[in-house]
């Protein structure tokens, strides 16, 4: 992977960590996520006049991606409703890059070097470890929570593959990314109004600054990733995006003054080592 692509995807991962931090602004996870998705669509809309619209061949991929993103939002919020973050987050984010690597090689025909495979596996293991925070029922797994977490991982894998292929089919990754956010925002607006009704407007009125900050960060993070998947293997880009948990951990330690435990240090070393292998691969 070229150095500038590598650096930009890491920047995108930092943006991803940023909008995931913004999402915790006092509303329930579904409403917060919906407001950020809607705000991202509004921020993206004016760019249509700059980058244009995707060609017709890209639209089936766009529609499939919107469906998968909706599944992701619902799956993640239902997983959090059923279980603790200490169970849900590691399973969802740690297994997604491994699934993406398998599917991209098997169905997209991408070729990865042994170094890249090793880097993705090591990075995924580091993501899993750094995400572990313990839970109320650490001794047993909540089957419903685990089921939704694995479903969420499948949707992450699905939309990563679909968007990588869709952006390549479009021939214009920027037009594809902008239209995806606009369509995604519209779809989430309809679903959120159906599920939350007037509460959605109340939430936006009270938290519109946070919603638009999160939306802008979300747009930047995934726009870069979509472009990167047109110039680098989808699996490698998808794995690099998961380094957002490393940036999130850094925010927790530096800004929130959370303790720097040994597990986090080991996980950080694993993630950095994985990054090095991916870069060399």
Rounded CA-CA distance 253/233 in Å is 32
Rounded CA-CA distance 203/138 in Å is 33
Q: Which residues are CB-neighbours of 106 under 8 A, at least 6 positions away?
A: none
* C-alpha torsion angle, residues 15, 171, 276, 274 (rounded to 10): 70
**pLDDT for 87:** 61
Task: Quote the number of domains for the chain.
Answer: 1
CB distance 122 to 277 below 8 Å: yes
Terminal alpha carbon distance of the chain: 7
**pLDDT for 24:** 60
Q: What is the pLDDT along the chain (281 residues), one digit of tens a residue?
A: 788 898 999 899 888 877 766 666 566 777 888 888 999 999 999 999 999 999 999 999 999 999 999 998 888 778 777 766 556 666 777 788 888 988 998 888 888 888 888 988 888 888 777 766 544 444 455 677 778 888 988 999 999 999 999 999 999 999 999 999 999 999 999 998 888 787 777 777 777 888 898 899 999 999 999 999 999 999 999 888 888 777 777 776 776 676 767 777 887 788 888 888 887 76
User: C-alpha angle with apex 93: 213 to 177, nearest 5 degrees?
Assistant: 50
Note down the domain range covering 143.
3-280
């Amino acid at each position: 992977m070229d150095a500038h692509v590598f650096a930009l995807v890491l920047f995108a991962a930092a943006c991803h960590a940023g909008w995931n931090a913004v999402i915790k602004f006092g509303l329930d996870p579904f409403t917060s996520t919906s407001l950020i998705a809607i705000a991202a669509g509004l921020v993206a809309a004016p760019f249509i006049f700059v980058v244009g619209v995707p060609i017709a061949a890209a639209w089936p991929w766009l529609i499939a991606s919107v469906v998968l993103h909706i599944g992701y939002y619902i799956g993640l919020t239902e997983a959090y409703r059923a279980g603790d973050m200490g169970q849900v987050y590691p399973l969802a984010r740690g297994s997604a890059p491994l699934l993406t690597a398998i599917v991209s090689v098997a169905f997209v025909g991408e070729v990865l070097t042994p170094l890249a495979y090793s880097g993705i596996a090591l990075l995924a293991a580091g993501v899993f470890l750094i995400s572990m925070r313990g839970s109320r029922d650490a001794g047993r797994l909540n089957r419903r929570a685990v089921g939704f977490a694995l479903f969420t991982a499948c949707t992450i894998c699905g939309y990563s593959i679909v968007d990588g292929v869709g952006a390549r089919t479009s021939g214009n990754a920027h037009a594809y990314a902008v239209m995806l956010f606009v369509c995604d925002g519209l779809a989430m607006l309809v679903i959120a109004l159906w599920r939350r009704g007037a509460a959605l407007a109340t939430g936006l009125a009270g938290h519109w600054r946070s919603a638009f900050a999160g939306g802008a960060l979300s747009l930047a993070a995934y726009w870069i990733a979509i472009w990167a998947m047109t110039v680098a293997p989808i699996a490698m880009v998808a794995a690099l995006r998961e380094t957002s948990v490393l940036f999130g951990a850094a925010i927790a330690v530096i800004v929130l003054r959370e303790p720097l435990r040994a597990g986090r240090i080991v996980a950080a070393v694993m993630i950095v080592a994985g990054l090095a292998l991916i870069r060399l691969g």
